[in-house]
Structure 1
Amino acid sequence: MANEVATEVKEDLKEAAETRLDRLMAQGAAAVVDLSKPVRGMDHIPLRHPSASDLRGIKLLDLINMDTVSLELVVPRIAMNGFTKHDFLNLEPKDMFSIGLQVSGFFAL
């Protein structure tokens, strides 16, 4: 009985996560990065493709190389959930790396 309930809960959580992801993608998110440690209650960061104005003052090569100073400037500009520079600075290193991979991937040919 307990195993059945646990299975149902897991399935419900999976469906809710898929629904959330579908909703974010419909709103224009190009990628969603799940965080290993929530920041200000956020457990994921939806990112949209950067526009030219989002990249002002940034060297593209620095973004492609996942330079943290460049990422700390660009990520808050392209995050779709109020993610701030302060939030970025409080990320776990592996979450920062995951976000950097997504952002640098926006420039892949």
Structure 2
Amino acid sequence: MQNIDSAETKSPDDNTVTLDSPILRGKTTIGSLTLRKPQSGELRGLQLVELLNMDVATLIKLLPRITSPSITAPEAAGMDPADLLACGSKISGFLLQKSAKTDTCLVA
């Protein structure tokens, strides 16, 4: 059985999510996903407020557009809820401006 981890797994990356329950694709196991910040066009048909609220259906639509290795919508729908939540947290962070992230760090 082949294991696929994202290329960025070799060096620590804040945008990599190690999956508690790997995604099985035939004889291939996907153990981690690297998420990249979506471009505005990749958000077409999605509501930003739903992404911030980590709406499951919205996350399932977006994940295939921004993951490496790329996953399908059915694979995203079959993810462990804890893994989906971890991906949703990364995505929520992508939607904040740099100044908002800095302000949040100063308050905490």
> For structure 1, which runs of at least 5 residues remain unmatched after alignment?
1-18
What's 2:66 paired with? 78
CA deviation vs aligned residue, 1:61-98 (integer Å, no higher than 9, x gap): 10011001110111110012121111111111111111
In the comparison of the two structures, how many residue pairs are matched? 87
What's 1:14 paired with? none
What's 1:20 paired with? 9
Structure 1 position 88 matched with structure 2 position 72: no
Structure 1 position 66 matched with structure 2 position 54: yes
Asked if 2 retains the 8 angstrom alpha-carbon contact of 1:21 and 1:32, the reply is: no
User: Cα RMSD between the aligned structures?
Assistant: 2.1
Q: CA deviation at 1:20?
A: 3.2
TM (normalized to structure 2)? 0.73
What's 1:37 paired with? 21
- 3-state SS of 1:91 partner: coil
Asked if 1 retains the 8 angstrom alpha-carbon contact of 2:36 and 2:66, the reply is: yes
Select the structure of larger CA radius of gyration. 1
Letter in structure 1 aligned against 2:16: V
Q: CA deviation at 1:21?
A: 3.6
Higher percent of residues as strand: 2
Structure 1 residue ranges, 4+ long, deviating more than 2 angstroms after superposition: 19-22
Q: Distance in 2 between matches of 1:97 and 1:52?
A: 22
- 3-state SS of 2:68 partner: coil
TM (normalized to structure 1)? 0.72
Mapping of residues 6-17 of structure 1, within 5 Å = none
- 3-state SS of 2:32 partner: strand
> For structure 2, which runs of at least 5 residues remain unmatched after alignment?
1-7, 101-108
